[in-house]
Structure 1
């Protein structure tokens, strides 16, 4: 009976500590986030995009179905048709193909057209019955011309997404379903607020910080529930995001990152003239750390609570030392995760650099690599420092809850 009364008193003390934490820190931050969303919410976005840049005049995309595949030599051209001729038996290994396509949309729906593809597309073994995306170019006074645009991926993408949802729900159940809902909210915030706000020329650091905070408030509480653990993790996440925003702003200016690396970057700058390309770099550094910060702070908060429940820490200092040892292991594994994730996402670029055989220092100086390195390092610094902060807050809350429990009752219950 006394043990039950002790647990009840501890639960009440923990709830009081959670309310104090929310009132003192998280509620003001939430109010500032809502105010930021209202103030920075973008308007008239369509009028600030140059449609003539993003939409090539006379070019549309239509679906098509392969009727036949005819191998040809890439080096020989039929002057009358403007396409490679059929390859001889002894032709060199520069294989291309002419695809006879049935047009499934647009004004020429139901007609047949020939589309030439190179060896890169041919290596994926296009076959009759397969659906592709065709680019239809219409020049006034001339017949429309068709080119290969891309493979049709709707069905495999839908099946892979369905498999992902099924696995998450089967393993994590309601918690997994709530995480998926939170992921949907995160996507909505990015599409409806962050991207349009950047296009209209809003301050990128504020946009990234406000959007990230809005996402984290919804995702953490939706996935992990309203509890003091979640509040503690959220407070550590807020610290990490604020630090990432500050470091990202300073690092971008210090290293003179322009955001203009590829042709797509220049196209983006022309299509959205009110947006500075450096805004994409700054905001990207903040958003890049969302998932990892969430993982680390939740894990640290849970570690402190579990250690306290198991009686592993007799005093706050001992509890902090035990929890931070777990945090150090988590930091080490997360750093590897970030590094390998970046290497995997940039594998094509890294291979191209390897082919060029340039010195490593010269490669690191180039903006193509420097921007990714700075983003990774800034996110890692914010992540590492958020671990001791989250741990300290969690230990303080747990210790406060212990102190609010009557010492005599605790001693009796322990006996």
Structure 2
């Protein structure tokens, strides 16, 4: 981690000229949009199909308190605003046009804080002490990702080693923090790390075999162009981080299952513990696989809708880089989960044997 630690200057490199400020819409002058003349504009109208301008009073930035006339956003995906809404505006200092401000989004700070408080209260109300440790673990996870993984990648460190080190640090701290010190947690940790390394190896092989570049979407392309990020390594890092959350769930479940079986029936041998816990693992994996596929499908739903709308041949669709990338994520993540069950179960059954024999 020391070798991969990012330079503090990396996070500010390549800062865009456009700034963002917040404001409140005080008045609006709405008028119908002119009819579309371009064939590309003959699509169904957007939800916000009104034009005109709005008076916006800035609440942040150097010109806070000043009111400006800003054109209303139009087009597909543009935010729909009303008088009294808090909006986010893009500010271009060097733009000499009539308006240097443009409404680009809604300001959601208050709503997000309310949702965060509700989330914390729900976790604490049900989980109590375990809920508190889970929240602390979640905070540590975000600290590692935002404080180490992302800055290191922006600092041109190799993304795959960065992800491996970051994931190892997360699972090392979070498992012990959430589940306490003990041999069950240690077994789950060992199983998670082994499965994580296997997932990383399989991911690298799959990405190389399918010649995936990692530049499947606009965000990745921008990172490669502006920051020189290794996009293939970034893809592998994303697969590892995405798999980690489900991996520790499976490994902890298997380690605890073996421990409870050994306590309930001290006469069970290692093979019997392994066989019984594996049956539980199979049932768990059957539901987790569906969870993984649905999670990736939900995240890629716009892509799936576009594929169906284009009505391309199936072979062409599957060979597309975006689709192939999602297939690799799902397949490799699932294989890593399946491997986690026998790895963790075997280790837990082996560790449980001396305790049973001593009894």
TM-score normalized by structure 1?
0.78
Match of 2:273 among 319, 322, 327: 319
Q: Which residue of 2 aligns with 1:14?
A: none
Q: Which residue of 1 aligns with 2:207?
A: 252
Cα deviations across residues 194-253 of structure 1 (Å, max 9, x unaligned)?
122222332333221111111000000000000111111111101111101111121111
Separation in structure 2 between the aligned mates of residue 155 and residue 92 of structure 1, nearest angstrom? 27
Matched, 1:347 2:305: no
Match of 2:140 among 176, 185, 206: 185
Separation in structure 1 between the aligned mates of residue 47 and residue 343 of structure 2, nearest angstrom? 61
Match of 2:7, SS state, is coil
Distance 1:121 1:282, change over 3 A: closer
Cα deviations across residues 111-151 of structure 1 (Å, max 9, x unaligned)?
231322226567x7532111111112233655542211111
Between the two proteins, the alignment pairs up a number of residues equal to 349
**Is residue 23–residue 86 contact of structure 2 (8 Å, CA) maintained in 1?**
yes
Calculate the aligned-residue CA RMSD, in Å: 2.4
Match of 1:116 among 69, 72, 81: 72
**Is residue 313–residue 319 contact of structure 1 (8 Å, CA) maintained in 2?**
no
Match of 1:261, SS state, is coil
1:366-405, aligned counterparts within 5 Å?
A: 366-405=320-359
Unaligned runs of 5+ in 2: 37-44
Separation in structure 1 between the aligned mates of residue 28 and residue 279 of structure 2, nearest angstrom? 61
Unaligned runs of 5+ in 1: 1-36, 78-90, 406-415
**Is residue 46–residue 77 contact of structure 2 (8 Å, CA) maintained in 1?**
no
**Is residue 64–residue 131 contact of structure 1 (8 Å, CA) maintained in 2?**
yes
Matched, 1:271 2:233: no
**Is residue 66–residue 99 contact of structure 1 (8 Å, CA) maintained in 2?**
no
Separation in structure 2 between the aligned mates of residue 233 and residue 355 of structure 1, nearest angstrom? 44
Q: CA deviation at 1:67?
A: 2.1
Q: CA deviation at 1:166?
A: 0.6
Separation in structure 1 between the aligned mates of residue 290 and residue 108 of structure 2, nearest angstrom? 32
**Is residue 133–residue 150 contact of structure 1 (8 Å, CA) maintained in 2?**
yes
Separation in structure 2 between the aligned mates of residue 369 and residue 281 of structure 1, nearest angstrom? 13
Between structure 1 and structure 2, the one with the greater Rg is 1
Separation in structure 2 between the aligned mates of residue 313 and residue 373 of structure 1, nearest angstrom? 44
TM-score normalized by structure 2?
0.90
